[in-house]
């Protein structure tokens, strides 16, 4: 079952406590650290465009890319109310195709974990490498195998909001390092006491930093640094989410 279809309509409602502003400030700081203060940035797995908009407000020319048309539809609705001219593209990141190169790419909120095979991970990194400016930056995060195995595991989460609610049933296959979560969503009909029920199944792969580094190397990219997403300090064996910074590395690109 395809992910982020019906769930897209209530995604922002249930992500209302997500620290997008904090994420934006941290990402902006990293971009400036590596001298990327202007230019085009592509947001892979942009979802409903919240972070994409915030980075556009920092002065970057943003491209938002997502596999879910339903999520992009909501991003486009937001765009109509936003003065920043963001370009949204409906694409699979494994088949990324841009009109030219960009100064940087980002991918956050565990979008990378939706790539379930190392071959897909490597191919995505290869595409990113191809579409970055010489010495361009790739900044992304991923949930670790430790988080799926020790923190999320086999759990059930339920949340209720005005007009909608969901039940999240999580399962982790440690041998395959595959995380499955089944989401049951209830959305209230307009001006009615009736609720519609929807179901989606999502799969994510738990990765280690070593695998990420290996796939970056196979794709030709240069690993620069890794940062614990929660502490913003050095990565440990108990890091749950990790930011990775990598650089473009194609000798001779554009005469560089």
Closest Cα partner for 40 from 20, 65, 77?
65
Tokens standing for residue 7: 């769930």
What does 63-74 look like in DSSP terms, one character per residue?
EEEES-HHHHHH
Cα distance between residue 35 and residue 169, in whole Å = 43
Domain ranges (residues) in the chain: 6-143+207-255, 147-205
The number of C-alpha atoms within 13 Å of 145 and in the hemisphere containing its C-beta is 14
pLDDT of 151 reads: 94
Give the mean pLDDT of 28-39. 96
Query: Would the pLDDT of 192 be above 90?
Result: no
* Neighbouring C-beta atoms of residue 72, cutoff 10 Å: 24
What is the chain's length? 256
Tokens standing for residue 251: 């000798």
Query: Would the pLDDT of 1 be above 60?
Result: no
pLDDT of 211 reads: 97
- pLDDT tens for 164-173 read 898 999 999 9
CA distances from 208 to 8, 39, 193, 236 (A): 29, 31, 46, 11
Give Rg (Cα) of the chain: 18
Tokens standing for residue 232: 């913003």
Q: How open is the CA angle 103-105-114, to the nearest 5 degrees? A: 165
Closest Cα partner for 6 from 159, 250, 173, 183?
183
pLDDT of 223 reads: 98
For 6-143+207-255, the fitting CATH number among 1.10.3210.10, 3.40.190.10, 3.40.50.150, 2.40.33.20 is: 3.40.50.150
Lowest-pLDDT range of 47-61, 118-132, 190-204: 190-204
Give the residues across from 164 on adjacent strands. Answer: 161, 187
Give the model's confidence band at 191: pLDDT under 50 very low, under 70 low, under 90 confident, else very high: confident
Average pLDDT of the residues of the chain: 93
> CATH class for domain 147-205?
mainly beta
- pLDDT tens for 108-149 read 999 999 999 999 999 999 999 999 999 999 999 999 999 999
- The percent of residues in the chain predicted with pLDDT above 70, rounded, is 97
- Return all residues near 130 (Cβ < 8 A) that are at least 6 apart: 250
pTM: 0.93
pLDDT of 256 reads: 55
């Amino acid at each position: 079952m395809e992910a982020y279809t019906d769930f897209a309509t209530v995604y922002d409602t249930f992500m209302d406590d997500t620290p997008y502003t904090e994420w934006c400030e941290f990402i902006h700081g990293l971009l400036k650290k590596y001298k990327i203060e202007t230019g085009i940035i592509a947001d892979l797995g942009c979802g409903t465009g919240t972070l994409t908009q915030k980075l556009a407000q920092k002065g970057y020319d943003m491209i938002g890319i997502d596999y879910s048309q339903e999520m992009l539809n909501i991003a486009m609705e937001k765009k109509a109310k936003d003065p920043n001219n963001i370009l949204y593209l409906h694409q699979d990141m494994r088949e990324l195709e841009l009109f030219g190169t960009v100064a940087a790419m980002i991918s956050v909120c565990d979008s990378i974990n939706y790539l379930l095979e190392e071959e897909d991970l490597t191919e995505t990194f290869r595409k990113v490498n191809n579409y970055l400016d010489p010495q361009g930056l790739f900044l992304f995060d991923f949930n670790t195998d430790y988080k799926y195995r020790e923190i999320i595991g086999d759990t059930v989460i339920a949340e209720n909001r005005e007009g909608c609610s969901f039940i999240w049933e999580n399962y982790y296959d440690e041998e395959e390092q595959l995380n499955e979560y089944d989401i049951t969503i209830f959305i209230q009909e307009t001006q009615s006491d009736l609720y519609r029920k929807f179901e989606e199944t999502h799969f994510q792969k738990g990765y280690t930093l070593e695998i990420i580094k290996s796939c970056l190397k196979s794709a030709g990219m240069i690993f620069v640094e890794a940062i614990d997403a929660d502490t913003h300090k050095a990565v440990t064996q108990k890091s749950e989410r990790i930011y990775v910074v990598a650089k473009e590395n194609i000798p001779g690109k554009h005469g560089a």
